[in-house]
């Protein structure tokens, strides 16, 4: 006998647990009692899902449909259902379903506080960032990065972390750079878009400049005034400062370029030696402290000091010294190596650094090492070291 029977029940197997976005799951739906074999369909909301397979029991009374599902974050709250129908019996359909709860890595975006103009933030103002987070489950930690390094809460230095906000009080130009926020939940870490904090400031002297310039009477010295500023400096004032008086340089004696100015100065008498001062200006204002450049009569450099031997082998040796005053001019360093008994020059090397090395020397040779500095006005007094290359192993063992 052939019976036509509607489904007795439809049931999703297992528990309705949260699913992780972009992971693959197999979900089973059991249908019992339908004859002939039921038509089983899967739905996500009003969209039919077709990535399924079926198996039927030997007696034909039970059919199991298995759905392969890769949920996305957008599936959160949608109704996943399994429906069984007997096409021979009208309105015979039964279904079971779950409301989807989708876990995902936090989605994070970063923005400046709404009352801030990101294109015009000056030193000294307070800046705050808002970290906007979409997360399921909710985050257990929000952290911040500045140029890739973790930002820590330090109210004493003006750094305040509060919930999803970062507050920087009285910002300095050192606070400029890329900021991100990172939100963490059990699914992973989500990092925001990078936001560049552009801090405007009046010009300041660029650190590390040489500010002692040696020049002879009647010689032209070119003095470069290097500054840091945002936006770049475009206007400059130069003054020569001598006892109780200062004289402005004519604008045709210096250039004015973004970030630096080069003055040409010619001392004629001994009274023309002293200090040149450079002020730079940008759209925020003029620097408060000028960059000083001391103009002195140029001379020979001072001797090198604190010299010691380094990397001494059978065929090479090195010398490391501390440089003396350069005489107000660019200097370089020379090392001459002589064979002691006959005073024959064995090597001559030079470098802009007072660390010099020679190679290709004979083993076990007594040597006189002479080191001195040189600039355009001449050379310094020499520093002499008596030494030798190491003896070869055969000579050391007497073989």
The closest of 207, 208, 129, 214 to 167, measured between CA atoms, is 129
Dihedral class, residue 88 (left if φ above 0, else alpha if ψ from -120 to 50, else beta): alpha
What's the pLDDT score for residue 1?
46
Q: How far apart are CA 266 and CA 244, in angstroms?
A: 21
**pLDDT tens column, 10-53:** 999 999 999 999 999 999 999 997 677 888 999 999 999 999 99
Q: Which residues pair with 25 in a beta bridge?
A: 69
Residue of higher predicted confidence among 222 and 115: 222
The closest of 68, 63, 57 to 39, measured between CA atoms, is 63
The closest of 371, 319, 367, 364 to 342, measured between CA atoms, is 367
The residue to which tokens 């990078």 are assigned:
194
What's the pLDDT score for residue 371?
97
What's the pLDDT score for residue 227?
97
Whether residue 319 is predicted with pLDDT greater than 90 in this model: the reply is yes
Q: What is the CATH number of domain 305-389?
A: 2.60.40.10
Q: Can you read off the two tokens belonging to residue 108?
A: 């994070």
Domain boundaries, the chain: 9-100, 105-199, 203-297, 305-389
The residue to which tokens 């450049």 are assigned:
293
Q: How far apart are CA 284 and CA 229, in angstroms?
A: 10
Mean pLDDT across the stretch 63-82? Answer: 95
**pLDDT tens column, 95-154:** 999 999 999 999 999 999 888 888 889 999 999 999 999 999 999 999 999 999 999 999
What are the backbone angles phi and psi of residue 20, rounded to the nearest 5°?
Answer: -85, 130
CB 121 within 8 A of CB 129: no
Confidence of residue 399 (pLDDT cuts 50, 70, 90): very low
Mode of pairing for the β-strands spanning 102-112 and 19-20: parallel
pTM of the model: 0.70
Mode of pairing for the β-strands spanning 291-297 and 212-215: parallel
Whether residue 389 is predicted with pLDDT greater than 80 in this model: the reply is yes
- CATH number, domain 9-100, options 2.60.40.1730, 3.30.70.260, 3.40.630.10, 2.60.40.10: 2.60.40.10
Q: Can you read off the two tokens belonging to residue 201?
A: 């400031």
Tell me, rounded to whole angstroms, the distance of Cα 36 from its chain centroid: 68
Please give the angle made by the CA atoms of 331, 274 and 328, to the nearest 5 degrees.
5
* Domain formed by 203-297, architecture: Sandwich (2.60)
For domain 105-199, the question of CATH label 3.30.70.1400 is answered with: no
Q: How far apart are CA 8 and CA 317, in angstroms?
A: 96
């Amino acid at each position: 006998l052939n019976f036509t029977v509607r489904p007795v029940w439809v049931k999703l197997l297992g528990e309705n647990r949260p699913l992780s976005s972009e992971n693959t799951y197999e979900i089973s739906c059991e249908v019992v009692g339908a004859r002939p074999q039921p038509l089983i369909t899967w739905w996500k909301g009003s969209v039919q899902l077709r990535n399924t397979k079926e198996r039927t029991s030997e007696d034909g009374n039970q059919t199991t449909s298995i759905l392969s599902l890769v949920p996305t974050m957008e599936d959160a709250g949608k109704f996943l259902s399994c429906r069984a129908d007997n096409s021979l019996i009208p309105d015979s359909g039964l279904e079971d379903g779950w409301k989807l709860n989708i876990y995902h890595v936090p989605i994070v975006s970063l923005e400046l506080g709404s009352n801030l103009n990101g294109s015009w933030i000056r030193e000294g103002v307070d800046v705050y960032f808002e970290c906007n987070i979409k997360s399921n489950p909710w985050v257990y930690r929000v952290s911040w990065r500045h140029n890739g390094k973790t930002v820590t809460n330090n109210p004493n230095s003006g750094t305040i972390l509060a919930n999803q906000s970062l507050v920087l009080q009285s910002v300095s130009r050192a606070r400029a750079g890329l900021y991100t926020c990172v939100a963490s939940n059990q699914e992973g870490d989500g990092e925001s878009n990078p936001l560049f904090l552009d801090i405007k400031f009046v010009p300041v002297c660029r650190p590390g400049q040489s500010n002692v310039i040696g020049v002879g009477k009647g010689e032209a010295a070119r003095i470069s005034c290097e500054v840091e500023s945002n936006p770049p400096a475009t206007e400059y004032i130069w003054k020569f400062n001598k006892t109780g008086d200062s004289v402005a340089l004519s604008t045709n004696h210096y250039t004015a370029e973004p970030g630096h100015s080069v003055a040409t100065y010619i001392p004629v008498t001994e009274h023309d030696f002293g200090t040149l001062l450079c002020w730079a200006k940008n759209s925020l204002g003029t620097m408060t402290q000028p960059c000083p450049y001391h103009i002195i009569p140029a001379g020979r450099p001072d001797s090198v000091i604190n010299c010691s031997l380094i990397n001494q082998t059978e065929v090479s040796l090195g010398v490391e010294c501390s440089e003396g005053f350069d005489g107000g001019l660019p200097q370089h360093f020379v090392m001459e190596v002589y064979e002691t008994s006959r005073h024959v020059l064995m090597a001559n090397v030079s470098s802009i650094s007072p660390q010099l090395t020679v190679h290709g020397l004979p083993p076990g040779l007594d040597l006189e090492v002479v080191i001195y500095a040189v600039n355009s006005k001449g050379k310094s007094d020499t520093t002499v070291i008596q030494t030798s290359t190491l003896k070869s192993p055969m000579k050391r063992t007497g073989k």
